[in-house]
Copies of this chain bind each other. A is one copy, B any other.
Amino acid sequence: MESINPPESIIEALSIDCVIFGFKDGRLDILLVKHAEGISAGKWALPGGWITYGESVDEAAKRLLKSLTGISDIYLEQLKAFGEPNRFPTKRVVTLAFYALVNEESYSLIPGFTASDAQWFNVHDVPQLIYDHNQILDFGYKHLKHKVRHEPIGFNLLPAKFTLLQLQELYEAILETKLDKSNFRRKLAKMKLLINCKEKQKDVSHRAAALYKFDKRIYVTLRKSGMVFEL
């Protein structure tokens, strides 16, 4: 979120905006905040803010995310800079877009002090946002769709322990497609990326599925020996 009068200590004209994806009940969501002040008060926007003088770009993104939504310690990556001359109304502002993947259920949203609200929206049902934020969001979603097929980042959207069906539904939601259950399992099994937790799902009204976890260290090891993640 970009307030109108940035404090003294920041690099003017350079902001950060975060496209934060969450996943719940088979739906891919996006986190938005409602501005509490300034000319865009009352409008929805991507969470964001200004980079201060003494912090790195990535540190700034982490700090802003934490202060605006209460979310910390998540998968966060730079997306790209958006810098059309007139994208911001009162002056020239270039924004660095980040994108983040979080397990929606692990966090209760805490709107920061310049935001009156923070809320998850279905990625296919997003309101009009301020400035070029809809464009940034679209770019982020396209990026996710592509990247999720070539790198094992999807796991960041799930709880630490998940079932194979949850994983499949995640991919189906992101890629907007249907996958064959049996073939999906076979492929994942062959990759040897998942650890069987030797635990069963609980409180479900059907046969309980085995829980798996993704260990990044395994992936790093497999990568070094030539493994390529493709789905």
Identify the closest chain B residue to A54 (Cβ).
B85
Interface membership of A138, Cβ < 8 A: no
Let me know if B83 and A80 touch, CB within 8 A: no
Chain B's nearest CB lies how many Å from the CB of A48? 14
Let me know if A83 and B51 touch, CB within 8 A: yes
Let me know if A14 and B55 touch, CB within 8 A: no
Chain B's nearest CB lies how many Å from the CB of A100? 15
Instruction: Please report whether the interface of chain A is mostly helix, strand, loop or mixed according to DSSP.
Output: mixed
Identify the closest chain B residue to A87 (Cβ).
B56
A203-231 interface mask toward B, CB cutoff 8 Å, 1 = contact, 0 = none? 00000000000000000000000001010
A50-66 interface mask toward B, CB cutoff 8 Å, 1 = contact, 0 = none? 01011111101000000
Within 8 A of B (CB), among A96-143: 96
Interface membership of A181, Cβ < 8 A: no
Residues of B within 8 A of A96 (CB): 81, 83, 94
Within 8 A of B (CB), among A1-27: 11, 13-14
Residues of B within 8 A of A60 (CB): 83
Let me know if B150 and A51 touch, CB within 8 A: no
Of A82, A85, A228, A230, most buried by chain B (CB within 10 Å of CB) is: A85
Residues of B within 8 A of A11 (CB): 13-14, 92, 94
Cα A84 to Cα B96 with chains together (Å) = 14
Residues of B within 8 A of A146 (CB): 150
Residues of B within 8 A of A14 (CB): 11, 13-14, 94
Chain B's nearest CB lies how many Å from the CB of A191? 16
Residues of B within 8 A of A82 (CB): 57
Let me know if A53 and B230 touch, CB within 8 A: no
Known: A78-B81, A80-B78, A150-B150. A57 touches B94 (CB 8 A): yes
Cα A58 to Cα B96 with chains together (Å) = 13
Cα A58 to Cα B83 with chains together (Å) = 8
Residues of B within 8 A of A55 (CB): 85
Which A residues have a C-beta under 8 Å from some C-beta of B?
11, 13-14, 51, 53-58, 60, 78, 80-85, 92, 94, 96, 146, 149-150, 228, 230
Could you name 21 residue pairs across A and B whose Cβ atoms are closer than 8 Å? A11-B13, A11-B14, A11-B92, A13-B13, A13-B14, A14-B94, A51-B94, A53-B85, A53-B92, A55-B85, A56-B84, A58-B83, A60-B83, A78-B80, A78-B81, A80-B80, A81-B96, A83-B96, A94-B96, A150-B150, A230-B230
